[in-house]
Amino acid sequence: MQERVCCVLYNLANNNIDNQGKIVVAIRVKRIMAAMDIHRGNADVQAVTCFTVRIFTSNTESQSSMVAAGCLERIVTAIDTHTGNVKVQEQACIALLLFARSNTDNQGKIVVADGLKSIIALMDLHTGNARVENPACFALYHVALRNIDNQEKIMIAGRLECIMETINTHKGSPQVQFLACMALKELAYNNLDNQRKMVAAGGQRCIVAAMAVHNGVSLSQVAAGETLELLQVYIQAPGSSDAAYQTDKLSQQVRGQGNMGTILETMDAHTGNADVQRQACSALGNLAFINHTALINTDTQGKIVAAGGLKRIMVTMDAHYANADVVFQACMALCKLASHHTDNQGKIMAAGRLERIMTVMDTHIQNADVQVVECGALYSLTHNNTDNQGKIVAADSLKRILMGTHKRNADLGLACAALCLVALLNADN
């Protein structure tokens, strides 16, 4: 009977925020809590009740009432009581992640209610079951979202290795790969120590392998690419020397060649997907040049071009020239490939990229970030290259640099640097 009542409440509340509020007022949520208490040993009731609770989480008022009434604690009890029931584990885990979604206060309350411990336990118990692993990884993502304290708790509990094992175990499931990569991404976000631990544990190789298996699934590629980008740009603590960076085996692992082929294959498989192309261009640029240290890897710069990276970046710029986010990353990649690399400078110019850079500057004249990165690309193309200096002046790029500068009131460093470099290093200009 309780199970049927919960099903009726679900049908009334599903996709109807007004009804959700009315039901909460009518039954004060405590009825649902009472059903969970009275039928604690009934897995079917617990599963349906957690399923019903999920619907109410879309209503902020309902969510607050349920938390205040002890809903989180009851969901955790359901997980702990019915450890072997996949339906309960799945529905309870989804309910917890919905409470944690975009709610910092609830993230902390879930941890206090031992929700994190329960999620960890169910992942260990159901390692081969995608129905449980899916919501569990997504729950970890939401509990850790922009929450350094929870990130640390998850890492201390050994979830990094567990998430990586999930990726390896469910190679055939794009959804598991996507959600697991999302969890890894959040654990690495703005957390240098976690990034280093992730690389040391083989996280980069694990992510690249996932990208290779599912290179036809754009959603998985974006999540994996964003995580990979976080790992690629991590560096030693501020103040460390370049020499220390050069000898850091973990950093060398991140900057290795193992993921270059996967990135290029991904670009080929998703030419029309702007998000994938943006992430791929960023990843290629990060392989060649680390922003934080300004450390250039000339060997990698050459290998990226030789492997067809420049060609792919060109295709991306041509296909997505109207998308500011994509052309920003594509031009940033060109900038990094050309930096202090005369051979690449010549290849980029020979490929007609100067004309495309000019087009992008014209198209995005009002976009300050695009103007700066385009000027940065011109700077890289002209550095110690008198031939390119003359070509860029002949292409009327000085006018565009000035126009880009005129549109901005601050942060003119790169624009001015490009202009001064052309003017000062080539007296004829």
d(CA 182, CA 344): 35
Q: Which of 84-98, 241-255, 292-306 has the lowest mean pLDDT?
A: 241-255
Query: Is the CB of residue 373 less than 8 Å from the CB of residue 418?
Result: no
CATH number at residue 341: 1.25.10.10
Position 231 in a domain: no
Position 182 in a domain: no
Phi, psi at 308, each rounded to 5°: 100, 10
Mean pLDDT of 6-28: 52
Q: Is 8's pLDDT higher than 80?
A: no
| Per-residue confidence (pLDDT) for residue 290, from 0 to 100 | 57
| Per-residue confidence (pLDDT) for residue 244, from 0 to 100 | 41
Q: Is 239's pLDDT higher than 80?
A: no
Q: Which of 2-16, 65-79, 235-249, 317-331 has the lowest mean pLDDT?
A: 235-249
Structure tokens at 205: 């190789």
Q: Is 246's pLDDT higher than 50?
A: no
Q: Is 167's pLDDT higher than 50?
A: yes
Q: Which residue has the higher pLDDT, 252 or 39?
A: 39
| Per-residue confidence (pLDDT) for residue 158, from 0 to 100 | 87
* SS3 assignment, position 129: coil
Phi, psi at 289, each rounded to 5°: -160, 125
Structure tokens at 263: 């990135």
DSSP string, 164-205: HHHHHHTTT-HHHHHHHHHHHHHHHTT-HHHHHHHHHTTHHH
Position 122 in a domain: no
Range of the domain at 399: 255-429
Confidence of residue 209 (pLDDT cuts 50, 70, 90): confident
Residues 6 or more apart in contact with residue 55 via CB below 8 angstroms:
10, 13, 14, 20
Element (H, E) at 368: helix 368-382
Structure tokens at 188: 């690495």
Confidence of residue 191 (pLDDT cuts 50, 70, 90): confident
Q: Which residue has the higher pLDDT, 405 or 243?
A: 405
| Per-residue confidence (pLDDT) for residue 240, from 0 to 100 | 43
Q: Please tell me the pTM assigned to this model.
A: 0.64
| Per-residue confidence (pLDDT) for residue 18, from 0 to 100 | 57
Position 243 in a domain: no
Position 169 in a domain: no
Q: Give which of 166, 393, 380 is closest to 289, Cα–Cα.
A: 380
Position 54 in a domain: no
Mean pLDDT of 210-214: 73
d(CA 182, CA 164): 12
| Per-residue confidence (pLDDT) for residue 75, from 0 to 100 | 96
Residue 308 gets which letter from DSSP? T
Mean pLDDT of 278-301: 73
Confidence of residue 45 (pLDDT cuts 50, 70, 90): very high
Name the residue type at position 322.
A
Position 265 in a domain: yes
| Per-residue confidence (pLDDT) for residue 83, from 0 to 100 | 94
Q: Domain total for the chain?
A: 1
What's the chain's average pLDDT? 79
Position 37 in a domain: no
Q: How many CA atoms lie within 13 A of 235 on its CB side?
A: 20
Mean pLDDT of 305-325: 93
Q: Is 357's pLDDT higher than 50?
A: yes
- Token pair 């702990």: residue: 80
Confidence of residue 409 (pLDDT cuts 50, 70, 90): very low
Q: How many CA atoms lie within 13 A of 293 on its CB side?
A: 24
Q: Which of 67-81, 179-193, 222-236, 313-327 has the lowest mean pLDDT?
A: 222-236
Q: Is 236's pLDDT higher than 50?
A: no
Report the b/e string of 188-225 with b at 16+ CB within 10 A.
bbebeebbbbbbeeebbebbbbbbbbbbebbbbbbbbb
Most confident among 102-111, 215-224, 276-285 (mean pLDDT):
102-111
| Per-residue confidence (pLDDT) for residue 172, from 0 to 100 | 83
Query: Is the CB of residue 337 less than 8 Å from the CB of residue 348?
Result: yes
